[in-house]
Amino acid sequence: MPFRLILLPTDTFQGSFKEVRPDIVHLHNIKRMTFAPLMAAKKLGISVVFSIYDNWSFCPENCLVDKNSQLCKKFHGLHCLNCVPVKKKPFILFRKQIFDHFLKEIDGFAVLTRSERDNFIKNGISSDKIHLLPLPLFSDTEVPPASSDKVMKNNILFVGRLEFGKGLHVLGEALSSVMEKLEGMKVQIISKHSGGENCKKWIKARTGETQAVGQY
């Protein structure tokens, strides 16, 4: 075609890449961008790496947890129709085929855990492309100077969104047992989510203690 009137999602990225001329395109959270930047980069012969922070690559709900709150080991497929809302159901039919195609076009993956690495290998990604970059525990780094603020004993801090995939429910289920062993134990939750009051009620129902919840 000598010309076309339809502006494709890849056109914007392709124009930007031509201008910037990057050696590598580093993808992070591309749920809303789709694979358009990947397509544009590959069309221009640019290498692409993808940092993985969740299970979006294998699960339309991003968390690999089924409707019964059990860990899902099936990855995406037609069985996902049981878990997703109505508006997502039409996209399930070809999701796996589409994702398999584009994921194999990526030159390298950066993952934070061995379980994430294993998930990609199980889904046909070569282990040579997967680079494990675990979060540091500061065992080999200089310990920063102590803060002037007093560190609270038996204090658990949770920072993140109040959603199932972040695992706060696991802490909630364990609180009653933990509180038996740690006298005066408290939980501080820092989140921008609007579900703070519901979370407070949820933890109180399992522990009988309102002071187990800190700030939102």
Which sign, positive or negative, has the C-alpha torsion 33, 29, 57, 163? negative
Residue type, 39: M
CA distance 73 to 122: 10
Instruction: Yes or no: say if 216 and 190 are a contact pair by the CB < 8 Å rule.
Output: yes
pLDDT in tens, 51-67: 998 889 999 988 888 88
Boundary (domain end) residue, out of 100, 132, 164: 132
In a domain, 150, yes or no: no
In a domain, 47, yes or no: yes
Residue 1 belongs to a domain: no
Token digits of residue 114: 């061995």
Taking only the tens place, the pLDDT of each residue in 164-192 is 667 777 777 787 788 778 777 777 777 76
146 inside domain: no
Asked whether residue 84 falls in the same domain as residue 49, the answer is: yes
Same domain, 53 and 18: yes
More confident residue, 144 or 34: 34
pLDDT for res 168: 75
The answer on 160 and 128 residing in a single domain is: no
Host domain of residue 87: 9-132
Tell me which of 99, 132, 165 is where a domain ends: 132
Give mean pLDDT, residues 137-153.
Answer: 60
- Which pLDDT score, from 0 to 100, does residue 156 have? 80
Indicate if 93 and 183 belong to the same structural domain: no
Tokens 């809303």 correspond to what residue?
A: 32
Higher pLDDT, 9 or 143: 9
Token output for 65? 């947890």
Whether the model clears a pTM of 0.85, i.e. scores above it, the answer is no
Enumerate long-range contacts of 82-85, CB under 8 Å, 24 or more apart: 84/60
Number of domains in the chain: 2
Query: pLDDT tier at 215 (50, 70, 90 boundaries)?
Result: very low
Q: Examine the fold and report which residue of 77, 98, 132 is the final residue of a domain before the chain moves on.
A: 132
Residue 165 CA, chain-centre distance (Å), reads 8
Average pLDDT score over residue span 21-33? 90
Could you tell me if 179 and 209 are in contact, meaning their C-beta atoms sit under 8 angstroms apart?
yes
